[in-house]
Amino acid sequence: MSNSAVFVPHFHWDREWYEPFQVFRHRLVTALDTVLETAEANPDFRFTVDGQMAAVEDYLEMRPENRDRVAALVGEGRLAIGPWLILLDEFLCSGETIVRNLRMGWAAAARLGGAMPIGYLPDMFGHVAQMPQILARAGIEHAALWRGVPGSVEGHAFRWRAPDGSEVRTEFLFDGYDNGLDVLLVPDRIGRALGDYAEMTADRWGTDPVLAMAGTDHNAPDPHLAAWLRQASGEGRAITMATLDEYLREHVRDEVAAVVTGELRSHVRGNILPGVLSVRLGLKQRMAVAERTVDHAERMNALWSRRDDSPFLSLAWHKIIESTAHDSVVGSGTDETCDQVAARLAEAAQTARAVRDAALTEPAGLVPSDGHLVANPLPFERTTLVEVEVAAPPAGTRLVATAADGSAHPVQLVSEAPTVLSDERMDASRLERVLRRIHRRELFGRLIDHYDLSPGSLVFHLAEVPSGGPFDLLILRKEVAAAAAAHPGEWRVLTLEEARATALVPVRVPASGLASFRVEPRETPAAAPASYAPSTAADRTLSNGLVEVTVGADGTLDIAGADGTVLRGVGRLVDGGDRGDSYNYAPPAHDVLVQDPAEITVDVVEDGPLRSRLRVTRLYAWPVALSGDRDLRDGRTVPTPVETLVEVRAGEPFVRVSTSFLNQSADHRLRFHVPLPEPVTTSSAAGQFAVTERGLTAEGGWGEYPLPTFPAGTFVSAGPATVLLDHSSEYELVGDGSELAITLLRAIGSISVNIHPLRDEPAASEIPVPGAQDLGMRVENRFAVVPSATGWRGADAVALAEEFRGDVLVTRGTGPAGGQLPADAAGLRVDGQDVLVSSIRRVTDDEFGNGTEVRLTAMRDSAVTARVTGAFSEATTVDLLGRPLSRTEAANELELALGPWEIRTVVLR
């Protein structure tokens, strides 16, 4: 039994949770004031600031005068800060966001003296498979964590191995991050208590000193701690106070026998609270939108703009990363906290959108104003469909889209807009008031092309792009005043817009590149390209030659792939009660599952040839809530129509599906089922730089029932069914592996419940959160289903998921109307099967100058060569913190040999 112990004073700081951010910050300032005063009064005192710089930044924003005091303690090694910007939920953000979190935290810590080189992850609800590689490629050799470690780990440390083989020595906080507090309960009995604890846990420690984490949530250690420990040390115990970094560098052995590979999601030594994956759907969707928008903004800014908007992009990233905190995006906070998270994510997306749109204004200036610019954010060439508003074709003509190379393609009209925007009658004396609506040339969001003025009549003709001559508002005012004086009495004022339509246009866009087109009428329509079969719609069937979908009598879908794979009954909706909380799902003891609709209607919405759509409306009777004892669903029901829009597009090997309904029920869980042709024993889910394989069960233990509900980021696959996802989602293989179930909504009413049937202890206080019921909210989900006998690998799901999520960007040209369309322009191109490009961005280095940073990952268990082509002459391989590793000359082409699951970052100049 170890006779020594190392105490690590710290706190764990949830930035926002059962109180909003500013309330917790007020407590934070008080706590860190105490820490600084204690450290300056006692040279032996050490403190670890929870591994996240957000706490330090939030403090210094209120106490800027203390910056030098903090830096002095960091410089002396007595205050350990960083390396993260914030302690995140690893499964509810992208892998790229995890990297940016580490980079921004490391940089912030460097400005105060340097980061703690420990991957400290004390309270996350499980850990992603690639975290060891992320840490190792940032030069970090150690991690420390609590939740998710499997029961095979018997000691207090293990080697944590990523799928690529990278490893970090990992300290297992098997008794939590507050295990030292019980020893400190009676200050003058610390020696005895420590001895008892060391004896109880002796098998864990071996000859290493006991690690006593002396801290908990939202509280600074007692200022007398150092004195207490000195007294206890004088009683025969070797007691040391240290930062976590000092403990791992100076007090333990690096040699560890136990090895754990991949993600950590075991329940055996701590609750991982998997219900956070599906509660407060809106936050998960906002996170996906914000991440996608800032990613596209960085790519557009790096490739197509002369302006460096890095400060705006950094702001957007900071707000996203703040929102990834493990009590933020998870949705386990109060309603006001979650409202703030949603607003922060919206602000991040808005900031990024401004950068993205500004970057496109430069190339849009080369496109005539009667044309459109299309930008492809993905680093491979693609043909896609875009929707644009155009002038409706004259009778007897068809619309075609003409590309810069002169090729023409048919378009599909999907709607037509009314041409009469207003028809008013008024006295001549009021005509001047009508003119107040005009702002220079704009009226009702359009531009005045010309006007007709005759006795008793004023007609405005509006257009998106005026074809007439100049317009002078002052002349119009004079003319109208004269006409009104000459012809008093009633006038008619008519505002007409040119006949408008919404057109669906096929566009071929180069890798990371730009293309343009204009839509114009022709008497003879262009021939359809031979590269794709048209999409078609019948009463209950859609087809495009690659997939065919048929709506069954029960409203579910039979989906057939080109290889003969058929998925039957896709989209069966199953609604059940949920008496759990924001952390854990729990069915009521007497659940009622509603899965059969009372009515079904099917309507053809669009009939090709580019896009075909059916709308399936199913009417369900869902119970309004749980009964008073929460173990029975209420007998009262509310009729709820669920609309499912089913879509196939020419050339796409998958079926797009979106569901929408107005939620009028509380305390329930709704899931979308994909039955499988044969039962399976494993699933594969993509996210955070890996595709993780999981079984039908989860490892149990501790005090939490191990529900096998798992996270998926960009797709989830089981057997021949792959589902492409719009946002991080929860899924489960049910029916002994015969069905894949994806959660569409989990509506609950409490942060935590004191008595939970699937969890022994409360996860928090029992605080009502009526907003988490999503009552009165329209709940929408979108995904795509890929049938393929060869699974996600044969279906090329990595690329398909990027195409599904990464829509092209479209904007109207701003150059002179009627001009020549500019030639297509390519940006960076990346070739390689299952190679994911998670980032393309502008970087600046004081030594090497400006460059474009590209991050790639081999999303497969075998090596692959990635080929990067573009305008560059050299490439520098850097680590995940941006530090150069090696340089090579590369004349517009670079080949990278990627190992299985390897993350590689290069800067091109």
Q: How far apart are CA 459 and CA 767, in angstroms?
A: 61
The pLDDT tens digits of the residues spanning 549-563 come to: 999 999 999 999 999
The C-alpha R_g of the chain, in whole angstroms, comes to 31
Least reliable range by pLDDT among 194-198, 707-711, 787-791: 194-198
pLDDT tens digits for range 412-432: 999 888 889 999 999 999 999
Interatomic CA distance for residues 314 and 812, integer angstroms: 28
- Per-residue pLDDT of 562-621, as tens digits, reads 999 999 999 999 999 999 999 999 999 999 999 999 999 999 999 999 999 999 999 999
Burial class (CB in 10 A: 0-12, 13-18, 19+), 444: middle
Q: What is the spatial distance between Cα 322 and Cα 331, in angstroms, rounded to a whole number?
A: 14
747: its two tokens: 């509506």
Residue identified by tokens 């003409």 is 402
> What pLDDT shows up at residue 90?
98
Local confidence band at 165 (pLDDT 50, 70, 90 cut-offs): very high
Task: Give the integer Cα–Cα distance in Å for 721 and 727.
Answer: 18
**Span 65-90, pLDDT tens digits:** 999 999 999 999 999 999 999 999 99
| pLDDT at residue 524 is higher than 70 | no
CB neighbours (10 Å) of residue 259?
12
Q: What is the 3-state secondary structure (H, E, C) of 398-429?
A: EEEEEECCCCEEECEEEEEECCEEEEEEEEHH
298: helix, strand or coil: helix
Name the pLDDT band for 9 (thresholds 50, 70, 90).
very high
Residue type, 724: L
pLDDT at residue number 322: 97
Q: Is 677:789 a contact under the CB 8 Å cutoff?
A: no
DSSP-assigned letters across all residues of 125-173 = SSB-TTHHHHHHTTT--EEEE-TB--TT--SSEEEEE-TTS-EEEEEE-
Question: Any idea which of 25-39, 462-476, 717-731 has the lowest mean pLDDT?
Answer: 462-476
User: Of 598, 597, 578, nearest to 588 (Cα)?
Assistant: 578
Tokens of 292: 């996608």
Cis peptide before 83 (omega within 30 of 0): yes
CA nearest neighbour of 129 among 174, 96, 90: 90
Whole-prediction pTM: 0.95
Q: What CA–CA distance (Å, rounded) separates 555 from 599?
A: 9
